[in-house]
């Protein structure tokens, strides 16, 4: 252990700094939970082998972690900061495996630290933050297998791939690109080997519980993916996609990943590692053709060429026997991160971030119809307790007898999760919502004669269609910096339903 700590002391120190950069941002009390975190907490409280919009790995990890450390913002942010920092360390390890010097290893790891998307998605809990570390593990195992001639490493690759699929179904894209890249890199015999087949079987066995869950529940994830493809994600034309990658990955890192792609792909001395260049090109090309608007979708592929790029640059600069070049590159990388920091982590006030967005001319729209003044990753951390309190105030006005007949409802999993988390002290255990897995949790359980619904004021007509008596709360949540779909929130006090509540609830289903 001492030898390990000494050998990798600089990589470990950089990883620790990355952890602190991300984790310390949680202490800004102006921002709270991110919208998706409420949903992950709700999923973690209801362990299962599957959920409508994701497999069970990330919720299961949170189930174990929160059982010991709770579900506070600080507890929740520890895991993603740790996962992001693990990817930083593994990027340095991959560079070492390719023959990079200690300087190249630090530069490669620093490049990932200074990649805005990596820091942004390390700043809140979700399945996405685990993906880069899992892909890097697969790549490291493949490089070790090539270098050492140990085909049994396919078993570990299969294990990693299985965990990756149990974390994100779309991890299948990374696996496909990985396999095709190995074939194009000249390793087709390794792909079509007994050991690779056993690795694939291991992957399938790990994924099998989720497959069974999908079958038993009518394959809800397929419906979810169809819906988001058609109506949620913003299509990005190829040129706009490329520009987006340059901006979101930081223009400074482009020097490294473009150099790394060419260096690993064309340098004869790296012929055995050419598959890493193919892996990046294929992954980048797939996302470009699919028109993905999410910059994080390609993040998993970048460390492969960060390693190659820093090796090439380090060897070029070494000819001049000076560290000025390395120092200058490091400063440029850090400057790129600092420029984007107000947009990706909650360190600054709403007004400062808004000003920064306008100065840079940033498009804050990630999902169709959601274009808040602040970047969505920040805007969707604002006002959750205030919104929830609107409903709690109305709930407390009811008599004890009325409370027994009352169903708490809302329109999306963010509000539903917030109401459950903050409402525990009021005795609110379940919130009914048709959004994703909340629909499955509520099926067959909706009964009562009163509904308290937290929703935006524009939904009033919908409630009046379904209830004979609808009263709108006088209090309304309005905030200039939240996403449009989370603004102008009121409580609808609904009585005398025109149909059984279960029937009304079933009509609210949307997997999106």
| Residue linked to tokens 């991890």 | 171
Name the token pair of 349. 């006030």
pLDDT at 367: 56
Give the pLDDT confidence of 286-339 residue by residue, as tens digits. 999 998 767 789 999 999 999 999 999 999 999 888 889 999 999 999 999 999
DSSP string, 401-441: HHHHTEEEEESSHHHHHHHHHHHGGGT----B--BTHHHHH
Give the pLDDT confidence of 22-61 residue by residue, as tens digits. 999 999 999 999 999 999 999 999 999 999 999 999 999 9
Instruction: Tell me if 449 sits within 8 A of 403, measured CB to CB.
Output: no
Instruction: Tell me if 108 sits within 8 A of 308, measured CB to CB.
Output: no
pLDDT at 364: 65
Would you give the distance in Å from CA 443 to the centre of its chain? 28
Tell which phi-psi region holds residue 184, choosing left (phi > 0), alpha (psi between -120 and 50) or beta.
Answer: alpha
pLDDT at 484: 86
pLDDT at 368: 56
Segments making up each domain of the chain, as ranges: 2-224+236-344, 350-379, 384-506
C-alpha span between 491 and 16 (Å, rounded): 44
Reduced to 3 states (helix: H, G, I; strand: E, B; else coil), residue 199 is helix
- Fill in the DSSP letter of residue 453: E
Those residues with Cβ within 8 angstroms of residue 48's Cβ, 6 or more apart along the chain or in another chain: 56, 59, 213
C-alpha span between 22 and 301 (Å, rounded): 21
For residue 180, give the nearest of 191, 189, 169 by alpha carbon. 191
Give the pLDDT confidence of 170-228 residue by residue, as tens digits. 999 999 999 999 999 999 999 999 999 999 999 999 999 999 999 999 999 999 999 98
**pLDDT above 60: residue 80:** yes
C-alpha span between 268 and 186 (Å, rounded): 14
Mark out the alpha helices in 24-152 (DSSP H runs).
Answer: 35-44, 57-69, 73-97, 102-113, 116-121, 131-148
Q: What is the overall mean pLDDT for the chain? A: 95
Q: What band does 233 get if pLDDT is binned at 50, 70 and 90?
A: low
Instruction: Tell me if 94 sits within 8 A of 140, measured CB to CB.
Output: yes
Beta-sheet pairing, 450-456 with 406-410: parallel
C-alpha span between 18 and 345 (Å, rounded): 12
pLDDT at 372: 78
pLDDT at 232: 65
C-alpha span between 49 and 437 (Å, rounded): 12
Q: What band does 366 get if pLDDT is binned at 50, 70 and 90?
A: low
Mean pLDDT of 9-17: 98
Q: What band does 360 get if pLDDT is binned at 50, 70 and 90?
A: confident
- State how far the alpha carbon of 395 is from the alpha carbons of 404, 425, 427, in Å: 11, 12, 10
β-sheet bridge partners, residue 409: 432, 453
C-alpha span between 19 and 15 (Å, rounded): 6
Instruction: Tell me if 114 sits within 8 A of 253, measured CB to CB.
Output: yes
Give the pLDDT confidence of 82-135 residue by residue, as tens digits. 999 999 999 999 999 999 999 999 999 999 999 999 999 999 999 999 999 999
pLDDT at 285: 96
Mean pLDDT of 356-376: 76
Would you give the distance in Å from CA 98 to the centre of its chain? 28
Name the token pair of 207. 């994924």
Instruction: Tell me if 472 sits within 8 A of 482, measured CB to CB.
Output: no
Q: What band does 365 get if pLDDT is binned at 50, 70 and 90?
A: low
C-alpha span between 113 and 122 (Å, rounded): 10
Angle between helices 131-148 and 73-97 (to 10 degrees): 20
For residue 46, give the nearest of 435, 440, 388, 408 by alpha carbon. 440
pLDDT at 321: 81
H-helix or E-strand containing 72? Answer: none
β-sheet bridge partners, residue 492: 453, 472
For residue 51, give the nearest of 168, 160, 131, 134 by alpha carbon. 168
The tally of CA atoms less than 13 A away on the side-chain side of residue 69 is: 14
Q: What band does 236 get if pLDDT is binned at 50, 70 and 90?
A: confident
**pLDDT above 60: residue 263:** yes
- Fill in the DSSP letter of residue 185: T
C-alpha span between 478 and 458 (Å, rounded): 13
Q: Dihedral sign, CA of 505, 508, 509, 511?
A: negative
C-alpha span between 242 and 93 (Å, rounded): 28
Which tops the pLDDT comparison, 371 or 53? 53
pLDDT at 373: 87
pTM value is 0.95
């Amino acid at each position: 252990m001492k030898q390990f700590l000494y050998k990798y002391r600089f990589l470990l120190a950089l990883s620790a700094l990355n952890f602190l950069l991300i984790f310390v941002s949680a202490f800004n009390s102006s921002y709270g939970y991110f919208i998706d975190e409420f949903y992950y907490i709700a999923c973690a409280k209801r362990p299962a082998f599957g959920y409508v919009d994701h497999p069970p790995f990330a919720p299961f990890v949170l189930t174990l972690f929160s059982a010991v450390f709770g579900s506070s913002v600080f507890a929740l942010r520890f895991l993603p900061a740790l996962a992001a920092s693990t990817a930083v360390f593994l990027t340095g390890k991959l560079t070492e495996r390719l023959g990079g010097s200690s300087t190249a290893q630090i530069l490669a790891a620093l490049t990932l630290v200074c990649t805005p998307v990596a820091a942004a998605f390390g700043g809140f809990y979700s399945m996405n933050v685990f993906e880069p570390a899992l892909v890097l593990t697969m790549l490291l195992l493949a490089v070790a297998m090539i270098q050492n001639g140990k085909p049994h490493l396919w078993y570990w690759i299969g294990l990693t791939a299985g965990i990756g699929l149990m974390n994100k179904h779309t991890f299948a894209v990374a696996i496909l690109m990985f396999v095709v890249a190995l074939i194009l890199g000249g390793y087709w015999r390794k792909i079509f080997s007994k050991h690779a087949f056993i690795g694939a079987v291991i992957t399938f066995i790990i994924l099998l519980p989720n497959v069974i869950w999908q079958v038993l529940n009518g394959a809800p994830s397929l419906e979810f993916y169809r819906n988001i493809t058609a109506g949620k994600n913003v299509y990005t034309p190829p040129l706009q996609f490329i520009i987006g990658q340059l901006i979101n990955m930081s223009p400074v890192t482009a020097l490294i990943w473009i150099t790394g792609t060419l260096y690993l792909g064309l340098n004869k001395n790296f012929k055995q590692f050419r598959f890493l260049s193919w892996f990046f090109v294929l992954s980048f090309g797939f996302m470009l053709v699919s028109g993905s608007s999410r910059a994080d979708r390609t993040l998993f592929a970048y460390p492969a060429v960060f390693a190659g790029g820093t090796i090439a640059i380090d060897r070029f600069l070494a000819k001049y026997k000076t560290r000025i070049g390395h120092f200058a590159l490091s400063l440029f990388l850090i400057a790129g991160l600092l420029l984007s920091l107000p947009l990706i982590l909650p360190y600054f006030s709403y007004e400062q971030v808004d000003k920064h967005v306008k100065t840079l001319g940033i498009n804050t729209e990630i999902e169709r119809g959601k274009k808040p003044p602040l970047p969505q990753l920040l805007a969707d951390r604002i006002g959750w307790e205030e919104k929830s309190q609107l409903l709690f105030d109305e709930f407390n006005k009811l008599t004890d007898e009325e409370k027994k007949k009352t169903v708490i409802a809302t329109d999306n999993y963010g509000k539903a999760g917030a109401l459950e988390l903050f409402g525990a002290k009021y005795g609110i255990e379940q919130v009914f919502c048709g959004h994703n897995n909340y629909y499955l949790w509520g099926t067959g359980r909706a009964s009562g004669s009163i509904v308290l619904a937290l929703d935006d004021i524009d939904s009033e007509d919908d409630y009046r269609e379904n209830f004979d008596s609808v009263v709108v709360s006088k209090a309304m949540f309005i905030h200039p910096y939240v996403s449009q779909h989370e603004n102008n929130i009121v409580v609808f006090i609904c009585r005398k339903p025109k149909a059984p509540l279960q029937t009304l609830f079933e009509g609210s289903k949307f997997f999106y």
